[in-house]
Amino acid sequence: MKVTVEFWYLVGLLLGFLGVVFTFGKLLLGEIEKRLDQRFETIDKANKDSSTHWDERFSALLEQNRREAEGWKTIEKDFLRFQAELPLQYVRRDDYVRNQTVIEAKIDSIALKIENVQLKGLQQ
């Protein structure tokens, strides 16, 4: 049995087969590209969400830091005011003892003078 196939018929079958393979390859690559685009889009969305989350977190931390700085400034002002008022309201122990000693010495001298006046009055 002898099979004869014309050359152009064989070329036509080969071209048809290559056309089908090319078409399927093109469809397959199109689907792969579409899936890659979806994955990149999902990754971009996740990155944007993550970026938004971190931006909000950093903003909150910066706001908290600013409030703490204001609190420290308030504490510093109160402390400086306290330091300015402290000498007006506080007497050191040494100063108090010295002043008390001076007052007691003056009272003793007045008592001595009164006693002397009384003794002179009794002698006359």
Cα distances from 122 to residues 48, 60, 118, in angstroms, run: 108, 90, 6
Tokens standing for residue 47: 């990155």
Give the model confidence (pLDDT) of 68-124 as tens digits: 999 999 999 999 999 998 887 777 788 888 999 999 999 999 999 999 998 888 777
Give the model confidence (pLDDT) of 14-57 as tens digits: 999 999 999 999 999 999 999 999 999 999 999 999 999 999 99
pLDDT, residue 79, reads: 95
pLDDT, residue 3, reads: 67
Torsion (CA) 76, 80, 82, 84 in degrees, nearest 10: 180
